[in-house]
Amino acid sequence: MPHEIPAPMLAKSVPEVPGPDAVAGGLSFEPKWDGFRALISWDGESVEIGSRGAKPLTRYFPELVEAFSRLLPEPCLIDGEVVVPKDVGGKQRLDWDSLTQRIHPAASRVKMLSEQTPAMFIAFDLLARGERDLLDEPFAVRRAELADLLGGVPHPVHVTRTTEDAELARRWLSEFEGAGLDGVVAKPLAQPYAPNKRTMFKIKHARTADVVAWAYRVHKSGQGVGSLLVGLYGDDGTLLPVGAVSAWSNSRRLELVDELAPLVERDESGEAVTGAGEKSRFTGADKDMSFVKLRPEKVLEVRYDQLEGWRFRHTVQFERWRPDRDPRSCTYDQLETVSAYDLGDVLD
């Protein structure tokens, strides 16, 4: 039987790369891969790919199941990330959209995508090797065992690079974003693996942008604003949806309904104009995706980490209202441009 898959160890956000003496025993730094967190259990006969949530990923990545069965030298339990690379302008980068499309209910579609957009696995921790449980070993020991186990294993299985040099980690934070990575992770060298505990540190990019509110969704409770939909103007003058702002307090959600009421678009009968957004394969079937349309007259400043195509990669955080800004001035030109960086150089 494959090793039992535990809950993964987690990370807490910190604003900057910590110094090497931030914790007793020192820190190991590594790139933060932007993919699906996955724990791989291999018993010599069968493979299981567990996810951070309760949903197994095994059936969605048959090419990785085949690769693990063929390449892993002995039974083991590995923590890592499933990612999909894509060629952009002659350089490889991570492609989140292609990765999310791999989660599909149809076996025929899964097979087709496994051939068209094959995934690879980035290993960054080893929890068991053979019959030995390594959870209680310090990370320094687990990392050495991981390098020994997978050091000679070829693509699509890779071992993430690490460093104990905080200055180099800061350079990675800047450079590797160009290959689609998400930041840097710092791991205490002396600590054991702690399932479901935030004992690691993650450092992500933090930026701000002025965006236009164009709609809101009602909170799932049925009262107040659940999320505010925001956009930026493109080169042709079209307001393009770029993401959503949420995480309001209960009282603030109710206040926002009143504050936004004068901006609600209404039809000839005086009824609020509504619409419905598309559901992704990660959205529950019963989730209400409808929204109330607003006149695009209110500007807000938000904090974000990175873009994925023309949209914010993650939910953005409200910073402040910007009554001094003309909505039409909220364009993509204000966003920081990241230099392309080849994924292959990250893997080396």
What is the chain's Cα-based Rg?
22
In a domain, 267, yes or no: yes
Q: Are 173 and 235 within one domain?
A: no
Q: Which two tokens stand for residue 65?
A: 């199941």
Among 99-113, 226-240, 295-309, the minimum mean pLDDT is found in: 295-309
Residue that finishes a domain, picked among 204, 226, 254: 204
In a domain, 3, yes or no: no
18 pLDDT higher than 90: yes
CA dihedral 52, 56, 57, 60 (to 10 degrees): -150
89 pLDDT higher than 50: yes
Query: Active site residue: 32, 187, 293, 298, which one?
Result: 32
Coil/strand/helix, residue 210 = strand
32 pLDDT higher than 60: yes
In a domain, 46, yes or no: yes
Spatial distance between the Cα atoms of 28 and 143, rounded to a whole number of angstroms: 10
In a domain, 2, yes or no: no
281 pLDDT higher than 50: no
In a domain, 342, yes or no: no
Q: Are 179 and 259 within one domain?
A: no
Coil/strand/helix, residue 49 = strand
Nearest by Cα to 203 from 29, 27, 348: 29
Residue that finishes a domain, picked among 188, 204, 220: 204
pLDDT band at 279 (very low <50, low <70, confident <90, very high): very low
In a domain, 346, yes or no: no
Q: Are 185 and 225 within one domain?
A: no
110 pLDDT higher than 60: yes
Nearest by Cα to 211 from 294, 292, 327, 317: 327
Residue that finishes a domain, picked among 179, 204, 229: 204
Q: Are 154 and 265 within one domain?
A: no
**Residue 49: which domain range?**
10-204
**Residue 307, amino acid:** L
In a domain, 136, yes or no: yes
Instruction: Please state whether 180 falls in left (phi above 0), alpha (psi between -120 and 50) or beta.
Output: left
216 pLDDT higher than 70: yes
pLDDT of residue 309: 78
32 is catalytic: yes
pLDDT band at 277 (very low <50, low <70, confident <90, very high): low
Q: Are 116 and 249 within one domain?
A: no
Q: Are 171 and 229 within one domain?
A: no
Kindly report the CATH number assigned to the domain that includes residue 79. Answer: 3.30.470.30
pLDDT of residue 197: 92
Spatial distance between the Cα atoms of 35 and 41, rounded to a whole number of angstroms: 18
Q: Are 200 and 221 within one domain?
A: no
Q: How many domains in the chain? A: 2
pLDDT of residue 2: 60
**Residue 7, amino acid:** A
DSSP 8-state assignment for residue 309? T
pLDDT of residue 202: 92
Q: Are 184 and 295 within one domain?
A: no
In a domain, 339, yes or no: no
Percent of the chain clearing pLDDT 70 (strictly above): 95
Kindly report the CATH number assigned to the domain that includes residue 312. Answer: 2.40.50.140
The predicted model scores a pTM of 0.75
Q: Are 59 and 165 within one domain?
A: yes
pLDDT of residue 54: 61
Q: Are 250 and 117 within one domain?
A: no
Give me the chain's average pLDDT, please.
90
Q: Are 216 and 200 within one domain?
A: no
Q: Are 51 and 40 within one domain?
A: yes
pLDDT band at 333 (very low <50, low <70, confident <90, very high): confident
Residue 318 CA, chain-centre distance (Å), reads 19
Spatial distance between the Cα atoms of 254 and 246, rounded to a whole number of angstroms: 13
Q: What is the pLDDT of residues 117-167, one digit of tens each?
A: 999 999 999 999 999 999 999 999 999 999 999 999 999 999 999 999 999
